[in-house]
Chain A
Amino acid sequence: MLALFEKSVAQSPEGLRSPAVGGQENDVHGVVALLQHFSEVKERSVTISLGSACALAYSSVKYSPLLPLLFAVVDDIFCLFEGHIENLPHLKQQYGLTKTANEAIIVIEAYRTLRDRGPYPADQVVRDIHGKFAFVLFDNTSKSTFIAVDADCGVPFFWGADSEDHLILSDDVDLVKKACGKSFAPFPKGCFFTTSKGLQSFEHPLNELKPVPRVDSRGEVCGATYKVDSETKKPSGMPRVGSAANWSNNY
């Protein structure tokens, strides 16, 4: 599976881009070249390009039946899902879907509920999905994306930033290496990425994420892993003041 997003759709977080732009000979540059390389390498591949904003590609062969790759498009929402959801029947009932719904449909429905009605915050929605999974969702109407992995990262999933600042995600590390050179890393577990709010952790939604540079076997800086910073908290809505304070300032 491969997903490619333009800078306006998905701003790659800082720290993912490595300063060292050491290019190899068989690096693939550019969206079109990468898609073409994907269809050459994988058999029975399907490539979907949505204008300049986004490109998705997948091939359903060579996936274990325990962690299958599914793709669905409903109502201009595209979803690539890899893995397995354990509480599938419970989620089907919660979102009011039929017995023919598979994991990709559930994720699309969960995203649609989040987008249109927003009864729970996004981190709660992702926390409700139990299992080993990684998914990439793109909403063509609002040109926004939603990417998440489970808390233990049971499925291999990598992301990187290429030379034109596109965000590239794939479960094939060679593909990401070819496209991004050194600017790639495994997707941090227990986190999700959205267009509007960037990378957040769904296990600790109120804490900031800090990039920790990775050093690969050659001693060069190679992307970054993101760790939850338990000291800094995101500023919450309620200001903390003593009871003697003048509360009229807040209104």
Chain B
Amino acid sequence: MLAIFQKCLAHPPEELNSPHAHGGIKKSAKQPQEILRDFHLYHPTASFSASFSGGAAIASAGADPRCSPLQQRLFCGLDEVYCIFVGRLDNLSSLIRQYGLCGKSSNEAVLVIEAYRTLRDRGPYPADQVVKDLIGSFAFVIFDNRVGSVFAALSEDGKIPLYWGIAAEGSVVISDDVDVIKGGCGKSFAPFPPGWLVLFCAGAGQVFVEMLMCVFGCSGCMFHSEGGLKSFERPMNKMKAMPRVDSEGAMCGAFFKVDSCAKISSMPRVGSAANWSSWEEKL
């Protein structure tokens, strides 16, 4: 499975860029068409790719007869919303009832599309609540061609390997095959954090909301394009990008952790006699 989104659709977090990418190893970051071509070469039979003129491309290697139902790959496209789903959902039947789909023709990919559509059109629950309801070990990427938004998530147990990286020209590449990512992004990639989701919404030609949220666990995080990376649990503390070092000893993307010492200043602490008129500028 492979998904490539150009800069106009998705802005990757800056920390994914490895510092070496701007050096002599820039050649290792490939253009999206080359990554797609390499993907087809890796999987010559039963692979397909869909390219969208807005700057996105999705490819999948199709049903592998050797893989068990626990690791199945599903692709679905309905009403200009396309989803690649890898893995399984344990509570599929109750979710199908919840979203009002018919049991026999609904698989996990159809359900996830329906969940995304509900989130987009009606938004009864926030995005992390929707993903928290999905129980199982899974990874999925949804691309909405009508709105131009991207929604990707990985389940908490992280049994499905999912990686994301930055290819040439700042396009985001998401894949479950590490070789494809390495070939396409050079050093600027990292494992997708398990238990997190990322949502890029485009509107009026600009990416105006990007949310990187942790669904489970205590380190809830949100990445907003204006505010930078913030934690849900500790919104007043800054997030720190800790560099990952791969087996070759080179820096390779980053982890994000809450820095309990550095706080974001919100309300200025001054005595009651101070001049509060300067507070307006800080807001």
Contact = CB atoms under 8 A, between A and B. Distances in A.
Contacts of B40: 51
Contact of A74 (B44, B48, B78): B78
Nearest to A95: B105
A27 interface: no
Given A74-B105, A76-B62, A98-B100, A47 B51 contact: yes
Interface string B51-94: 11110000000110000000000111111101000000000000
Interface residues on B, range: 20 to 34
B25 interface: no
Contacts of A96: 102, 104-105
A48 B102 contact: no
A72 B63 contact: no
Contacts of B201: none
A75 interface: yes
B214 interface: no
B28 interface: no
A94 interface: no
Contact of B50 (A46, A51, A59): A46
Contacts of A97: 102, 105
Given A96-B104, A141-B63, A73 B77 contact: yes
A62 interface: no
A194 interface: no
A109 B105 contact: yes
Interface in B12-40: 40
Contacts of B105: 74-75, 96-97, 109, 112
Interface in B87-127: 100-102, 104-105, 107, 110, 114
Interface stretch (A37-45, A158-166, A178-186): A37-45
Interface in B240-268: none
A98 B48 contact: no
Contacts of A60: 80
Which bucket holds chain A's interface residue count? 20 to 34
Contacts of B74: 75
A45 B54 CA distance: 8
Contacts of A48: 48-51
Contacts of B53: 39, 43-46, 59
Interface in A38-72: 39, 43-51, 59-60, 71-72
B45 interface: yes
A34 B48 CA distance: 17
Contact of A44 (B48, B49, B54, B101): B54
A108 B255 CA distance: 44
A105 interface: yes
A141 B48 CA distance: 12
Nearest to A70: B79
A51 B75 contact: no
B225 interface: no
Contacts of A50: 47-48
A140 interface: yes
Contacts of B48: 48-51, 140
5 contacts: A49-B49, A51-B46, A74-B105, A96-B102, A105-B78
Shortest Cβ-Cβ A-B pairs, 9 listed: A73-B77, A50-B48, A48-B50, A98-B102, A45-B53, A47-B51, A46-B52, A72-B78, A44-B53
Given A39-B51, A73-B76, 14 more contacts: A47-B51, A48-B51, A50-B47, A51-B40, A51-B44, A71-B80, A72-B77, A72-B79, A73-B75, A74-B77, A75-B105, A96-B105, A98-B100, A100-B101
